[in-house]
Amino acid sequence: MAFTRLRGILVPAVLLSACLLSPLAAAEPTVAQLEKQINARNAALLEMQNRVQQQDATIRKLEGQIQDLSERLSALEKGGVRPQIPANPNPPAPDTASSGNNGPKPQPDVVPAPDAKKPAGDPKKLYDDSFAFVRDNNFRKAEAGFSELIQNYPDSDLVPNSYYWLGQIYYKEKQYQKARENFLNVTKYKSCQKRADSIYKLGAIEELLKNPDKAKKFYQVVVNSYKGSAEAVLAQKALDRLK
């Protein structure tokens, strides 16, 4: 066995080499560590997004109430009645026996019929419930909830994330064709925080389906478009593996 003298002590060369190389190996993050970082970041982004969307929903609700009040006041003014705020929220019905007043009478408030095209419900609550099912590994209920959100609320800001979690569900269940369809839908939303991971997952799916050339194209997109991100590091590792 070869020995190396270190400050008067003979040390086996193999042991010395391992000691010198171990800090370098430890400095390089593992795939598991990178995936853990991605999951932690996604959870933080989701919580932030949920708070912002909750605030937006509150603002929209207040704007709707103000608009409704404005329309009612305008209707009363057009009818010749000066709008007043009654002291009693439930005033008694007017005495219809008196016939001396021939002036205009205030018309009862007309409650508009709900829009038949807009389903009742809250997309935010539907999303939160579906995400809770994901955490509980209740994938069938999560799948139904996210699919309902996409179908009934196509303009919601939560649609891209719903596609993403559907893709993750199908990916975990090895339904790769369905997973690919949903991850591809995520890539259409360039501002979505989960777009980089969706493109990376598309590369992973192609690799699992024995399509290395297609996989490398997706990995290269991640490396080029999201430099410095955890997804880019994972994608570069995959590219090095496929060389």
In a domain, 94, yes or no: no
> In this structure, are 173 and 131 located in the same domain?
yes
> In this structure, are 224 and 164 located in the same domain?
no
Domain-ending residue, one of 193, 219, 235: 193
> In this structure, are 188 and 215 located in the same domain?
no
Structural domain containing residue 238: 207-243
In a domain, 98, yes or no: no
CA dist., res. 228 & res. 226, Å (int): 6
In a domain, 3, yes or no: no
At 98, is the secondary structure helix, strand, or coil?
coil
In a domain, 179, yes or no: yes
In a domain, 81, yes or no: no
In a domain, 153, yes or no: yes
> In this structure, are 153 and 218 located in the same domain?
no
Residue 81: the pLDDT is 47
> In this structure, are 135 and 167 located in the same domain?
yes
Residues 6+ apart with CB under 8 A from 22: none
In a domain, 145, yes or no: yes
Contact by Cβ (8 Å): 90, 106: no
In a domain, 216, yes or no: yes
Any idea how long the chain is?
Answer: 243
pLDDT in tens, 7-40: 554 545 544 444 444 444 445 567 677 777 777 7
> In this structure, are 232 and 177 located in the same domain?
no
> In this structure, are 134 and 183 located in the same domain?
yes
> In this structure, are 125 and 188 located in the same domain?
yes
Residue 156: the pLDDT is 95
Residue 77: the pLDDT is 55
pTM score > 0.95 for this model?
Answer: no
> In this structure, are 124 and 189 located in the same domain?
yes
Instruction: Give me the CATH number covering residue 131.
Output: 1.25.40.10
Tally of structural domains, the chain: 2
Tokens at 19, concatenated: 């000691």
**Dihedral (CA of 116, 121, 122, 123) sign:** negative
> In this structure, are 240 and 176 located in the same domain?
no
Residue 75: the pLDDT is 63
Q: How many CA atoms lie within 13 A of 54 on its CB side?
A: 10
Residues of the chain with pLDDT under 50: 3, 6, 9, 11, 14-26, 81-83, 85-89, 91-101, 103-116
Burial class (CB in 10 A: 0-12, 13-18, 19+), 176: middle
The H or E element spanning position 131 is helix 123-135
